[in-house]
Structure 1
Amino acid sequence: MTDIHEYLAEFDDIPGTRVYTAARARQGYHLNQFAMSLMKEENRKRFHADEKAYLDEWPITDEQKQAVLDRDYNRLLDLGGNIYFLSKVFSSDGLSFVQAVSTMTGMSVEDYQAMMMAGGRPAPGNRSIKDKN
């Protein structure tokens, strides 16, 4: 039988993908609760009035706070954020899902949309980080 930690570690070998594991869920619990708080208009107003002060009300790490302030969505995923919860952050900034996710790829919105309409990332070269070495 394969060790569960070895099995889960294999997910980290998928380029550009962060699999939302139980460990990430635990790490990002409060970060995701913060993001969900933005579903309420009064919380969005408080957040945008003073983002740092609002973030300081949550038991999240300084690294998570900085990633929110930087709107570094890839880093937020690394720190336990769930993309569906984080969508509340970029929606509160007036960004669509496509606009926000395109920033995570380093592509323009138009290029990202074209790639997705063409079927997404091509499989060759995108299956394993190890295989790129």
Structure 2
Amino acid sequence: MKAVAIKEHSVAALADIKEQTLRPNYVKIKIVALAVNPTDLHHTAGVGYVGGILGCDLSGIVEEVGEECNSHVRKRDVVYGVCHGVNLNSIKDGAFAEYALVRDGHIAKIPKDLTFENTAMLGVGITTIS
């Protein structure tokens, strides 16, 4: 799949990467819209890991739900959420890709009167203030 990953210190680029295997407590989301967050710029500027996928804010369509998820989401639900792109535990967990893996509980259904574009930037913002 296509993803924006850290190519080298201070350089991000489009890359072809292997699609991740769904982990038991994660939800696989087909990305429809995303937002650039200041943390993405910090990761690119040097605190991220080479090969890591950037991005934390996203919205999209649920493709698959892990077997240990207790979430209220199901396949084909439209959702927004947050993942920790370029994190030390799994550098491939970023949102700037065709698909993202998001930990159960870090997503919410998009209300009927909002769009993918309206909600893509809510993930980090809502988790920061809550």
Give the TM-score of the pair, scaled to structure 1. 0.28
Question: Which structure has the bigger radius of gyration?
Answer: 1
* Greater helix content: 1
Give the TM-score of the pair, scaled to structure 2. 0.28
